Amino acid sequence: MAVENSKVLIIVNNWGIEETELTRPLRDLRDAGAQVTLAATTMDPCETVQHDRYEGEKLTPDALMGDVKADDFDLLVVPGGTCNVDRVRVNPDAIRLAQEFAAAGKPIATICHGAWLLVNADLIEGKTAAPCRYIAADIENAGGHYVDEQVHVDEGHGWKLISSRKPDDLDYFVGAIKRALA
């Protein structure tokens, strides 16, 4: 498989997504030739924010989260944004998707608060992740190991976890996603 032949799924709530944590993977992977689907909880515009606080860009979702399945994709991306992931992590469709990707041995890429979904999906135990420091205790309490790195790739337990801390790490994060798809 190559990046240009890959199918990537990005899942979000419709508001509170950290702008660059959504737009950079979405656009960089599309520019590299990947088919990227943005799936949200509703078909309303996805309202992003900058630094969890300031209004950001609005994007139109391609699909409903409840209508997509892991079988149709090669990699899952979960962007951050505190409010976004606080709702995604309790969404049954998001939990199902994360579990399906892991069960199929497909990579999951999370940035910032995105790894919270893996805690609720019971997927973080035994994994090492580099999310934002604000959820380090959640990772550790769920049986995972927290590291403070620009990007960390964990290939244990039959599936690859790519994780990064914050928007400043996006070059490393997107680079690791591209390498996983190559």
For the residues 17-43, what does the mean pLDDT come to? Answer: 98
Q: Does the pLDDT of residue 69 top 90, yes or no?
A: yes
> How high does pLDDT run on average in the chain?
97
What pTM value is reported for the model? 0.98
| Confidence at 5, pLDDT banded by 50, 70, 90 | very high
Predicted local distance difference test score (pLDDT) of residue 36: 98
Contact 35, 3 (CB under 8 A): no
Q: Rounded distance, CA 84 to CA 153, Å?
A: 23
Query: CA-based Rg of the chain, rounded to a whole angstrom?
Result: 14
Catalytic residue positions, numbered? 112-113
Angle between helices 19-31 and 170-181 (to 10 degrees): 40
Q: Does the pLDDT of residue 1 top 80, yes or no?
A: no
Predicted local distance difference test score (pLDDT) of residue 40: 98
Q: Rounded distance, CA 5 to CA 46, Å?
A: 26
Contact 49, 81 (CB under 8 A): yes
Q: Does the pLDDT of residue 37 top 80, yes or no?
A: yes
Burial class (CB in 10 A: 0-12, 13-18, 19+), 7: middle
Name the CATH architecture for the domain at 3-181. 3-Layer(aba) Sandwich (3.40)
Indicate the domain borders of the chain.
Answer: 3-181
Q: What percent of the chain has pLDDT over 70?
A: 99
Of 107, 49, 119, 121, nearest to 75 (Cα)? 107
Q: Rounded distance, CA 164 to CA 113, Å?
A: 9
Q: Rounded distance, CA 73 to CA 83, Å?
A: 25
Predicted local distance difference test score (pLDDT) of residue 85: 98
Predicted local distance difference test score (pLDDT) of residue 124: 98
Tokens of 124: 């973080």
Three-state SS at 48: strand
For the residues 109-126, what does the mean pLDDT come to? Answer: 98
Q: Rounded distance, CA 16 to CA 13, Å?
A: 7
